[in-house]
Amino acid sequence: MVETKICGLSEPAGIAAALAGEARYLGFVFFPKSPRHVAPERAGALAVPARGRADTVAVTVDADDALLAAIQTALAPDWIQLHGDEPPARIAAVRRFARKGVIKALPIARAADFAEADRFAAADMLLFDAKAPPGARLPGGNGAAFDWRLLQGRRFARPWLLSGGLTAENLPEALRESGAGAVDVSSGVESAPGVKDPLRITAFLDAARTA
């Protein structure tokens, strides 16, 4: 069965749809430039129904220890996702703020970009996302995809998730071409930037279940 992460959640309706569809991970974004940004206290309140049902992921971009400590206090996340320019050495320092481990997001545009996976072998999981288009304000959640065929036949030292431009409609093709066993979606289940659509979340999780 394909594992699923619904990212950028900010309202109870989205949480309810993700849990009803048995999403494995719920992602909360802590990055003020993002339309999906939530304060730590808000994320902590939203995550209450998820306890014991799904893992929580705190998505950060070059966050300092003060922000990570605030997130830890309010949310106690299972995972910290690093989605910025964090160096490999940062992983060990960040791990203490998470209950389970660290996910490192890597931007992909061409085959050579996968070499970064070896540099971040200390991460507990990897996430392969499309490289942000020129001029983009966000490192992820841009609705862009990379060539999924680049993943064919590749093996990595850590579990990994496929991200970038996924929707309920293209998920079967993405899984078939990439061989992914876990996927991450954000903009693909929204009605507007930062506005999660419960029906689209349900459709995406149904597609993952039947793929």
Give SS3 for 187: helix
The C-alpha atoms of residue 76 and residue 80 are separated, in whole angstroms, by 10
Give SS3 for 153: coil
Which residues are tagged catalytic?
7, 129
